[in-house]
A and B are shown apart, each in its own frame.
Chain A
Amino acid sequence: MTQKDRDIESLFERMARAKVNRRGFLAGTGLAGLSAFIAACTPGSTAAPSAAAPSTAPVASTPASAAPPSVAPSAVAVTETEGKLFMYNWADYVDTDNIDKFKKDFKVTDFTYDIFSSNEEMMTKLQAGATGQWDVGAPTAEFVEAMVAGKFLEKLDWLKLPNAALIDPQFQQFYKGDKADLNNYHLPKDWGTTGIALRTKDVKEDVKTWKDFFDVAPKYSGRIVVVNSPGDVFVAPLKALGYSLNSVDPKELGEARELLRKLAPHVLALDSDTYDAKLADESAVMGLVWTGGIDDLKEKPETADTKYVIPEDGTLFWMDTWVIFKDPPHPNSAYAWLNFIQDPAVQAKETVTNRYATANLEAIKLVPKELLNNPTVFVPPDVLASGKLEGAQDVSTDPLRVEIWEEFSSSIGH
């Protein structure tokens, strides 16, 4: 097989697996649409609704410390649904077997899966007045604040979600201090990191931190790929300087701007959709990337030297989280889904399929070892404990950040 054949093959693989870049804008809109189309053409499960009771029995005893804000020990799962569920979510983001199981167990005949390709797109739809159309979705956690402010979300009734008690509190308590009430609007789905990808056969330096990344960048000028997402790109300079990645302080951002100015000429591409392809053909040898697609590179013999590094000076962890939209057309189905998906066995299957870390402490025990030890999926416990990971806040709208980003993105490569 020639290199070109492999490329074409990998292109088709990408098309078939739009979830590779969960946050890729173009992949999301175009290729995801294609795969949704293909999915729509595939005959669905014809399994007749079973009369058996839902197999996801509520889990009763759990440590009190792991309980979400107001979980009462007497929480009881919803078993009767409206027979329909309308989901609004990232493309290919739920295991299809789990969907079939849910349909069977809860006698749901109409399961609609609508797709958004970015949080911004979802927000824009909701702001344009699309409430009451969907039951559940999984936006990224920092968007919960704006969604609550816009009255787009239902406050969760923990009494209907016994499995919520299994969620690791450090993820459930995403919002701190006076924003803590926002944690009553979401149920963590999965999470991951932004980091550095290296082709170690080309990059000989041991790049461990964002500071290293900036230091070696001039040496690999024109061979660096960066995701086209301001929220992720600002992580690198701010963390290299030792600041919060959510900083909107003009002085700190000014210093970050200088680092980005120096980096810009060395960048080959701002690319959220095919950064892994650029790493694969070595047009890029170092990248500021998400984890999507990196494992595929590691598994292929010709790109097995690919390495994913969680920078030691700290980085961003993103978390997608289940929400119930305001005025859901099928509230019982919505609660049934949220509880069902956090059933440990169901959740472990989600982790294996999506290859993103689960926040469910019981599900982790069922996840295969090699997945737990893979840094693109799970963060090593010591890094997690070090407190160097920081959740993103919704700061992408800060005018100074917009200005710096515009300067950076219009000056890359020259």
Chain B
Amino acid sequence: MTSQAAADRPNAVTTGRWRSRFFTGALIAPAALWYVVLLVSPIVLVIVFSFGTRNRTGGYTPGFTFDNYAAAIKSPDPFLTSLFLSTFGTILCLLVGLPLAYFIATRARKRKALLIVLLVIPFWTSFLIRTYAWLLILGQDGVAGFVQDLTGNTSFRILGTEPGVLLGLVYGYLPLMVFPLYVTLERMDRALVEASKDLGAPRWSTFRQVTLPIALPGLITGSILVFIPMMGEYVIPQLLGFGQVYTIGNALYLRFLEARNWPSGAAMGVGLILIMLVVVTVYVWFTNRGRTVRDVSVV
């Protein structure tokens, strides 16, 4: 029916529409190609590999077996450790990031630009070097040693413990939480807060009923940006956790590189993707419930 309707119209309009479609297509094509080549096809490959078997020298032999998944389910510990770390890491990032973003967006005035630059500056240095720096700060000749001297408790350490890893995670990913929050809070109309106060709402109610709902899209984006990479984090638990904190990243490294068992690693990777999908979906649904406009991203 549509085609018939189109055929009834004058020819020039059809050409114009065709042309605009062509241009739209041409503009979308690079992005589409990017996604297919760099996102869709690797995921498809991982899924296909996860049903295969290991070939004698490593690598992949086609096959169809659920053994890899059975093995992944049999060792759930790294999944749980990573879930724990990234959940708490995200909450901590939020607790630190929200006040910071609020301050920069509403109170910093002239220093706003300076503070933003200060947030970005660490990115100029390699992530690995910055994590190494924490080894010195928290180590035997840093904070841990200081506390030991102070308390006389020689077994006190921060490195090689879960709090140490959490600290590293929050340090590493905090900017990813602050930026989206800042963007939403910056656009917030201050008049709304004043109106709330004028109408007699206490501070907490104003925050809960005015500021927070406005910041929500940024909060969701920030949490997802922080949560997902934390799930797959390898470097921080390895360096700051001394390998005592065994995460999904460790398990994937072991399977893909040490054991050269791609199918087994792929099954674990699919498990990781599934967990993240479930967590993120539930999270977005939960934070957006009752809202008519379902914002997910503003960045």
Contact = CB atoms under 8 A, between A and B. Distances in A.
Contact of A118 (B129, B157, B257): B257
B250 A409 contact: yes
Contacts of B136: 4, 7-8, 11
Contact of B239 (A26, A118, A397, A412): A26
Contact of B259 (A3, A4, A281, A397): A397
A62 interface: no
B246 A409 contact: yes
A127 B246 CA distance: 28
Nearest to B140: A281
A269 B258 contact: no
A397 B56 CA distance: 9
Contacts of A34: 126, 129
A402 B259 contact: yes
A291 B196 CA distance: 68
Given A127-B58, A406-B254, A222 B244 contact: no
A2 B243 CA distance: 29
B258 A26 contact: no
Contacts of A4: 136, 141-142
A124 B257 contact: yes
A335 B216 CA distance: 64
B140 A30 contact: no
B284 interface: no
A149 B56 contact: yes
Contact of A274 (B135, B141, B155, B256): B135
Interface in B191-249: 235, 238-239, 242-244, 246
Given A30-B128, A30-B129, A268 B242 contact: yes
A89 B77 CA distance: 36
Contacts, number: 105
Interface residues of B, number: 39
B243 A120 contact: no
B48 to A, nearest CB: 15
A30 B126 contact: yes
Interface string A20-52: 000001100111001000000000000000000
B59 interface: yes
B261 A397 contact: yes
Contact of B132 (A11, A149, A268, A413): A11
B57 A150 contact: yes
A304 interface: no
A252 interface: no
B160 A413 contact: yes
A222 B132 CA distance: 21
Contacts of B244: 268-270, 412-414
B235 A230 contact: no
Given A30-B126, A397-B58, A410 B242 contact: no
Interface in A282-297: 282-283
Nearest to A152: B57
A34 B248 CA distance: 27
A271 interface: yes
Contact of B242 (A124, A271, A397): A271
Given A31-B128, A123-B260, A406 B140 contact: no
Given A30-B126, A270-B242, A410 B140 contact: no
Q: Interface range on chain A: under 10, 10 to 19, 20 to 34, or 35 or more?
A: 35 or more
B242 A26 contact: no
B75 interface: yes
B132 A270 contact: no
Interface in B77-105: 77-78
Contacts of A3: 141
A53 interface: no
A109 interface: no
A127 B59 contact: yes
Interface in A245-300: 268-271, 273-274, 277, 281-283
A396 B258 contact: yes
A14 to B, nearest CB: 9
Contacts of A123: 57-58, 260
B88 to A, nearest CB: 18
A213 B139 CA distance: 25
A298 B142 CA distance: 24
Contacts of A406: 75, 251, 254
Contacts of B160: 268-269, 413
Contact of B257 (A121, A277, A281): A121
A60 interface: no
A405 B128 CA distance: 26
Interface in B17-59: 54, 56-59
B238 A402 contact: no
Given A4-B141, A30-B126, A402 B243 contact: no
A120 B57 CA distance: 11
Contacts of A274: 135, 239
Contacts of A397: 54, 58, 259-261
For the complex of A and B, list the 7 residue pairs with the smallest distance between their C-beta atoms, beginning with the closest. A270-B243, A269-B242, A30-B128, A410-B246, A120-B257, A413-B244, A146-B57
Interface of B: 54, 56-59, 75, 77-78, 126, 128-129, 132, 135-136, 139-142, 155, 157, 160, 235, 238-239, 242-244, 246, 250-251, 253-261
Given A229-B258, A274-B239, 11 more contacts: A3-B141, A4-B141, A4-B142, A7-B139, A7-B141, A26-B239, A34-B129, A120-B257, A406-B75, A409-B246, A410-B246
7 contacts: A25-B253, A26-B128, A120-B256, A120-B258, A222-B155, A282-B140, A405-B254
